[in-house]
Amino acid sequence: MSDCLFCKIAAGQIPSNKLYEDEQLLAFYDIDPQAPLHFLVIPKQHITSAAALTEENAALLGHVFAVIAALCRELGVAESGYRVVTNVGQDGGQSVPHLHFHVLAKRSLAWPPG
């Protein structure tokens, strides 16, 4: 999608602080971190939000969560724990309409979220 911020980041047209990249996805640090460790994982394919996912995206989603687990092991937070969040739409607090998973760690996270 030509006018999408995260499509531009995925294409390298807008710089990001990358953690991991492969053919299907990109992980990069959030520009406005909400925890001492806060990164985003996005599919390179434009998907507007989790509300647009179908059974056809099953392999992609499995890959997203496998990469998150591997990155969290490498970053040393697998034992202490972390939170994976995807916001959907206005009430969900989504500000960028391209599917992304927040990974937050290195502090105790409150529940329920605000």
Query: Any idea which residues carry the catalytic annotation?
Result: 100
Going across the sheet that includes 18-21, the strands are 18-21, 25-29, 37-43, 101-105, 82-85
Q: Which residue is nearest to Zn ion (CB)?
A: 4
SS3 category, 41: strand
The binder of ligand 5GP chosen from 94, 99, 104, 105 (CB under 6 A): 94
Q: Which does 4 bind (CB under 5 to 8 A by kind): ligand 5GP, Zn ion, none?
A: Zn ion
As to burial, measured by CB atoms within 10 angstroms (0-12 exposed, 13-18 middle, 19+ buried), residue 95 is: exposed
Using rule CB under 6 A, residue 87 touches ligand 5GP: yes
Residue numbers at the binding site for ligand 5GP (CB under 6 A):
5, 16, 28-32, 87, 93-96
